[in-house]
Amino acid sequence: MNKNKFETDMELKDYKVQFNTLVDKYKLNNAQSGTAVSTPMNGEVLGHFTEEHNDTLQQHVDLSKEAFAKWKVYPAPKRGEMMRQFGNAIREAKEDLSKMITLENGKVFKKAWERYKR
């Protein structure tokens, strides 16, 4: 079986470099401290994330309720179009999403990729 480019890269590059490349590409918050994210492939800590604190959690819940109130009165065809665009964005990013799953969970890249076939 031929290896795809990412599987070959995984053998050649440091896992942390791969992880940070994806974090930077999508402007994700990789904190300097907090809960560690490590790869089960070798146990290396890839980065950290911070958990929401109770004082900001309620604010996020309130914002979500406001957004839903607006969303449910938005015309169904427009909601459908927005969901289609969201699905397209997920499909366009499926290689990067599969890489992240492989790095964080140790899942074989091909299996991670198959999650986004639908």
* pLDDT tens sequence across 23-73: 888 777 777 777 888 888 788 888 887 776 667 778 889 999 999 999 999
Of 10, 33, 4, the closest CA to residue 106 belongs to 10
Question: Residue 6 pLDDT > 80, yes or no?
Answer: no
Only one residue has tokens 């599969």, namely: 98
Amino acid at 72: K
Q: Which CATH number fits domain 5-114: 3.40.605.10, 3.40.50.2000, 3.30.450.20, 3.40.50.300?
A: 3.40.605.10
pLDDT band, residue 3 (cuts 50/70/90)? low
Across residues 81-91, what is the average pLDDT? 92
Q: Model pTM?
A: 0.64
Per-position b or e across 72-93, b if 16+ CB within 10 A of its CB? eeeeeeeeeeeeeeeeeeeeeb
Of the CA atoms within 13 Å of residue 15, those in its CB half-sphere come to 18
